[in-house]
Structure 1
Amino acid sequence: MFVRTVYATGDPARLGLAVGALNTRGRDLLEERPGYRGAGLFVDRELGKLLTVSWWESAEARRNSDEVMSVRRPELLQPFAGTVAVENFEAAVLHAGRGPLTGGGVRITRFECDPADADLAADTFHAGVLPRLEVLPGFAGAALFLDRERGRGMTGVLFADRPSLAGSRARQAAVRRESAAKAHATVVTLEEFEVLHADVRDE
């Protein structure tokens, strides 16, 4: 599958306005688009950060959907968003976990690698990282997104509740260190968000 991410930052006091719009009008717009396979909405209320992920069955479906979403996105995110970054990825690895999840936490890791090592990154995550994540208390799903052309990617690991997210930090740090070395990848950002909604239809 293929994904589009939207990363917005702004005034924390206005975050709720964007969340409300995305959970109503935004979700309706996505549901109407052919090839839509689910979405996630993640927030950092303290700093004023918002991350959305929408899933598509093909690159064409994602591209066609953005003809509508790129026009409507500003009104959905205002007056909260001061900065907005939109990125497209291939979902190279997906462990859908338990399905819809609200109130948990997600840890996002962004990394860079040589484009020639993109397959190595995917293989490392699938064979070496996922088995070690699945045994963590509260694990609720994981995914690896790749932009093979630019040699960039991100991983997201979902946990059923915030205590499980916090409790996993040390063990996932060890996994991250070892897997980054094996995949010849450089970690550039590490973030945690509250999960407001996460659902992907992998069938």
Structure 2
Amino acid sequence: MGCCRSVAGGLATHWQRVGGVDGPDPSVAPPGRCPRWRRELDVFARSTTVQAQLSAIDEGITAVRDTVLPAVQGMPGCIGMSLLVDMQSGRCIATSAWQTEQAMRDSEGPISSFRAMAMFRGRAQVHEWEIALLHRDHRTGPGAYSRVIWGQTATGRFDEAIEGFRVGGLPQLEQLDGFCSASMLVNRATGRGVVTETFDSAAALDRSREQAEAIRDESTRRTGVEILDVGEFELALAHLRVPELV
């Protein structure tokens, strides 16, 4: 699949974002370095991807911000959600995070209408993940952009892939100008994984592209991960309160 790029200066400049990607009182690592490994808990996520009609994206963001977000936040075990949008391709990704796998499962019924993403007028695909890694250098502000990388690996090599990204790719990403945060979601049953790299602005994302690709190529050579797709998105809604997991 090809790389989808979003239009610089789009929604993030005229939609009021709710909270920050880190939520109130985020666990942020000391500037300039990744904290040492301290995996203390398992956290889970559900992502809903929809190929929206371009004319419906503004309406969809309003509905998620004003209706879906408050409803999801009120559910037991929810630790926030985010929304990524690509105004050029119409691809939108809403992700909710959960303290436990059971809390994520219990939310399936109440948010079934959200999964349908009817407000975006497109067909939705739902995926469930374990949040294997999350590192924040600092909080995001208005105008943040994200690069999302989908990959596939042998199910028995997940720990190798996670550790390779933690000790290799992540410290290099953190040195890039405008870097905010990075996360890795994995589905151990399918062998799929998703890495999200977030930057302060569209300009910072653009400047990082060549270096980030080199870091990605080096990491995949070491771990045997196959890259399936790469997309770039505006961070239209950022209200995740997932703790630091690195």
TM-score category of the 2 structures, normalised to the smaller one: over 0.9
Give the drift of 1:121.
Answer: 0.9
Identity, in percent, stands at: 27
Mapped pair 1:149 → 2:189: yes
SS of aligned partner of 2:234: strand
5+ residue gaps in structure 2? 1-42
Does the 8 Å CA contact 1:99/1:200 hold for their aligned counterparts? no
**Which residue is 2:233 aligned to?**
193
In structure 1, C-alpha distance between the alignment counterparts of 2:153 and 2:222, rounded to whole Å: 11
5+ residue gaps in structure 1? none
In structure 1, C-alpha distance between the alignment counterparts of 2:88 and 2:233, rounded to whole Å: 10
In structure 1, C-alpha distance between the alignment counterparts of 2:146 and 2:118, rounded to whole Å: 24
Which of 200, 203, 210 aligns to 1:170? It is: 210
Q: Residue deviations 1:72-91, cap 9 Å, x none?
A: 443xx325232211000100
SS of aligned partner of 1:82: coil
Q: What TM-score comes out, normalization by structure 2 length? A: 0.78
**Aligned AA (1:159):** F
Give the drift of 1:10.
Answer: 2.2
**Which residue is 2:74 aligned to?**
32
Which of 52, 61, 67 aligns to 2:94? It is: 52
Distance of aligned partners of 1:125 and 1:17 in 2 relative to their CA distance in 1, 3 Å threshold: same
Give the drift of 1:17.
Answer: 1.2
**Aligned AA (1:10):** A
Q: What TM-score comes out, normalization by structure 1 length? A: 0.94
SS of aligned partner of 2:60: helix
Distance of aligned partners of 1:59 and 1:101 in 2 relative to their CA distance in 1, 3 Å threshold: farther
- Highest relative contact order (Cα 8 Å, sep 6+), 1 or 2? 2
Q: Residue deviations 1:114-159, cap 9 Å, x none?
A: 0000111110111111100111100010000000111000000000
SS of aligned partner of 2:88: coil
In structure 2, C-alpha distance between the alignment counterparts of 1:55 and 1:97, rounded to whole Å: 20
**Aligned AA (2:181):** G
Higher helix share: 1
**Which residue is 2:52 aligned to?**
10
**Aligned AA (2:66):** T
Which of 84, 105, 120 aligns to 2:160? It is: 120
Does the 8 Å CA contact 2:47/2:96 hold for their aligned counterparts? yes
Runs of 4+ aligned structure 1 residues displaced above 6 Å come to: none
Does the 8 Å CA contact 1:101/1:197 hold for their aligned counterparts? no
- Residues matched between the structures, number: 201
Q: Residue deviations 1:142-201, cap 9 Å, x none?
A: 000000111000000000111000000000000100101111110000000011122322
Which of 84, 105, 118 aligns to 1:42? It is: 84
